[in-house]
């Protein structure tokens, strides 16, 4: 039931985004979209599209995300710790918790990050949540979601032209985009950046491996966990990378000032 609700939420988000993006796409002059030499121009078009996507996403996400002040405050504390270590981002970073038992975290276009309460409930410290967030933020830094959306929409636009209406097809394509996640190479690059950010933010890089271990723990009797694992391949390799980064880390860990038990206990709807 929860998984169904979640699928509906993602579909709603992506149907809304796709509708908006198709509008943007049609506004682009043909000569510009086909200008392969103008990478500067392409980049600016992509920026504009991402701005539009972000607007649409925010509307959908804020309607479904948990709105409690104490939840936002906890997230802000973690984000504040990471921010000085982050590179330049094209759009402000926004993190939301969705009250769903699903064990997953997603980086959407426009630097919007969703953490599902099911994942959050499994973590044992604010630093572990910071580690999962650092990985998702790295996808935003690398602009992976928008590149993926651009790739998928090329195909979707064809379907739309052929079929006249695109709703059903677009929904399927968007769902595939979410369930497939990024390439192994993109995942490893995101981990590398996350480990750098964690170290620079006075969080032991091995915390990422610890967090991943919690998510893997009881996967056999929990189909929800498989979602994170299937969209984030190479678990053992990732844990090893994290341990290696920790061994070479010259820094000293400084705890994040957040009562984790109290923070986590707010998500009571989840088992």
Q: Which stretch binds Zn ion (CB under 5 A): 10-18, 79-87, 179-187, 243-251?
A: 179-187
Long-range contacts at 147-153 (CB < 8 A, ≥ 24 apart): 148/177, 148/182, 149/17, 149/21, 149/53, 149/109, 149/177, 150/46, 150/49, 152/176, 152/177, 153/18, 153/21, 153/22, 153/25
Contact of 148 with 182, CB cutoff 8 Å: yes
Contact of 207 with 255, CB cutoff 8 Å: no
Residue 192 CB, nearest approach to Zn ion (Å) = 12
Residues of span 183-222 touching Zn ion by CB under 5 A = 187, 190
Residue 83 CB, nearest approach to Zn ion (Å) = 20
CA dist 103 to 65, 205, 225, 232, Å? 15, 22, 5, 12
Cα–Cα distance between 211 and 169 in angstroms, integer? 36
The site for Zn ion, by CB under 5 A, has a size of: 2
* Three-point CA angle 65, 69, 71, nearest 5°: 60
Q: Which is nearer to Zn ion, 12 or 229 (CB)?
A: 229
Q: Which is nearer to Zn ion, 88 or 185 (CB)?
A: 185
Q: Which stretch binds Zn ion (CB under 5 A): 6-14, 30-38, 59-67, 180-188?
A: 180-188
Residue 232 CB, nearest approach to Zn ion (Å) = 5
Q: How far from chain centre, in Å, is Cα 201?
A: 20
Cα–Cα distance between 56 and 79 in angstroms, integer? 23
Q: Which is nearer to Zn ion, 55 or 236 (CB)?
A: 236
Residue 181 CB, nearest approach to Zn ion (Å) = 6
Q: Which is nearer to Zn ion, 136 or 263 (CB)?
A: 136
Residue 139 CB, nearest approach to Zn ion (Å) = 6
Q: Which is nearer to Zn ion, 72 or 216 (CB)?
A: 216
Instruction: Compose the 31-70 pattern: x for residues touching Zn ion by CB under 5 A, - for all others.
Output: ----------------------------------------
Cα–Cα distance between 197 and 138 in angstroms, integer? 9
Q: Which is nearer to Zn ion, 101 or 181 (CB)?
A: 181
What residue ranges bind Zn ion (CB under 5 A)? 187, 190
């Amino acid at each position: 039931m929860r998984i169904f609700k979640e699928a509906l939420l993602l579909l709603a988000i992506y149907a809304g985004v796709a509708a908006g993006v198709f509008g943007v796409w049609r506004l682009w002059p043909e000569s510009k979209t086909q200008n392969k030499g103008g990478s500067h121009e392409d980049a600016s078009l992509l920026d504009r599209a991402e701005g539009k996507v972000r607007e649409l996403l925010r509307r959908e996400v804020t309607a479904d995300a948990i709105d409690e002040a104490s939840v936002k405050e906890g997230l802000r504390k973690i984000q504040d710790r990471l921010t000085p270590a982050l590179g330049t981002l094209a759009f402000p970073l926004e993190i939301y918790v969705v009250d769903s038992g699903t064990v997953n975290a997603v980086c959407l276009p426009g630097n919007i990050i969703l953490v599902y309460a099911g994942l959050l409930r499994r973590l044992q410290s604010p630093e572990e949540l910071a580690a999962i967030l650092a990985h998702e933020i790295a996808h935003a830094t690398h602009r992976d979601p928008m590149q993926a959306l651009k790739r998928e929409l090329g195909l979707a636009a064809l379907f739309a032209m052929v079929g006249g209406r695109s709703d059903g097809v677009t929904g399927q394509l968007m769902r595939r985009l979410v369930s497939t996640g990024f390439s192994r190479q993109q995942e490893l690059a995101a981990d590398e950046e996350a480990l750098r950010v964690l170290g620079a933010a006075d969080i032991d890089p091995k915390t990422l491996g610890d967090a991943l271990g919690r998510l893997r723990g009881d996967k056999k009797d929990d189909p929800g966990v498989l979602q994170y694992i299937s969209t984030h391949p190479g678990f053992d390799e990732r844990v090893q990378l994290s341990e290696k980064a920790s061994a070479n880390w010259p820094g000293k860990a400084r705890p994040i000032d957040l009562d984790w038990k109290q923070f986590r206990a707010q998500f009571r709807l989840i088992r």
